[in-house]
Structure 1
Amino acid sequence: MPDRHGLPGLRGADHIGITVPDLEDASRFFVDVLGAEQFYDLGPFESDGDWMETHLGVARDSRVDRLRFLRLGSGLNVELFQYSAADQNPVPPRNSDIGGHHLALYVDDFDAAIDHLVKSGVKIMGEPTVRTAGPSAGQTWVYFQAPWGLQLELVSYPDGKGYEQHTTRRLWDPRRATL
């Protein structure tokens, strides 16, 4: 691996943590609709002191009721949290809000994946976008939402992306991931 500046020893992302309103409902969505594999639970966690505030950046009296680890395909692990907190904001941030985000899931067969989401009652946000020029040429994507409002993206580029024609450097590619 080439020497570079930044975080020493960085290999990649291990997991993303997502706070959900109901851990069981969210788990069913991730497992039954998206095909995640469930691994283990932890919790509850709470503190009489300032541990929650100091270590997690939440109000002192917050409580992690439970958290659950899952794996999506051969890639990203997902840590789902269910919190109890008096100051909890129940509205997920929009992509345009500071802290806004989405989770992009790569699929080999875009049309089959869309059909599966539609049959599962998932809200698809608009029509798929097909990139035919530029660095993302070859990519098709569309956003969709989990029942509680989390935004996700379905993405596919089975023949690669346009930028690959202009450099030997590569973004991480889920098509080459193995367990």
Structure 2
Amino acid sequence: MDHIGITIPDIEAATRFLVEAFDAEPIYDSVKRTDPTVEGSEPENILSLAHGTKITAVRMMKLRVGPGIELFEMKGPEQGQPVRPSDFGLQHFALYVDDIEAAIAQFEKAGGTMFSRPQPLMFPTEVGKGNFFCYGRMPWGTVVEFISLPSSMPYENDTSLRRWRPYV
């Protein structure tokens, strides 16, 4: 995966949060707030935006390990609330962490809210010593999962295929 795109209400606040919560770094701005807004039928058709939506800023962020995060600050007449994990569509993205407690502490200090504390993975195909996960919400509503998989998992006995891990 190259990157995920997230629509946020305030690009500077979202950037600060990602830097503080995940040690992310801004790479470049595709659209700066000082640039003319990107609007009209062309971006509406290309991106399937609601009529009248204005793209006011776009920034690509780099995580230490994993895909980038592209932030889109948009203003539009039909913006909805962020999805919950029970809604259709992309519901969360997961960040692999070595120290899940430290990652949660950094996330909460930056303004994120956890749904629960770390717990063993819930599916029998993924259990293993120290294999933990938990979910939280970023200040603008995007759901993130923290996951740590230091041990092999039972599914590995049945296939040569493996889940992605940052060190493999």
TM-score, length basis structure 2 = 0.86
Q: Does 1:93 align with 2:83?
A: yes
SS at match of 2:115: strand
List gaps (5 residues or longer) in structure 1. Answer: 1-12
Using CA pairs under 8 Å that are at least 6 residues apart, name the structure with larger relative contact order, 1 or 2: 2
- Paired residues of 1:126 and 1:142 also in contact (CA < 8 A): yes
Cα RMSD (Å): 1.9
Distance apart, 1:133 and its partner CA: 6.7
The percentage of aligned residue pairs carrying the same residue is 37
Partner of 2:14: 26
- Paired residues of 1:16 and 1:76 also in contact (CA < 8 A): yes
SS at match of 1:39: strand
**Corresponding residue to 1:38 among 18, 23, 26:** 26
Partner of 1:140: 132
Distance apart, 1:76 and its partner CA: 0.6
List gaps (5 residues or longer) in structure 2. Answer: none
Separation in structure 1 between the aligned mates of residue 140 and residue 150 of structure 2, nearest angstrom: 30
Which amino acid is the alignment partner of residue 166 of structure 1? D
- Paired residues of 1:47 and 1:61 also in contact (CA < 8 A): yes
**Corresponding residue to 1:64 among 36, 44, 55:** 55
**Closer, same or farther: CA 42–165 of 1 in aligned 2, 3 Å:** same
Distance apart, 1:161 and its partner CA: 2.6
**Corresponding residue to 1:80 among 53, 56, 71:** 71
Partner of 1:107: 97
Separation in structure 2 between the aligned mates of residue 118 and residue 16 of structure 1, nearest angstrom: 22
Partner of 1:170: 162
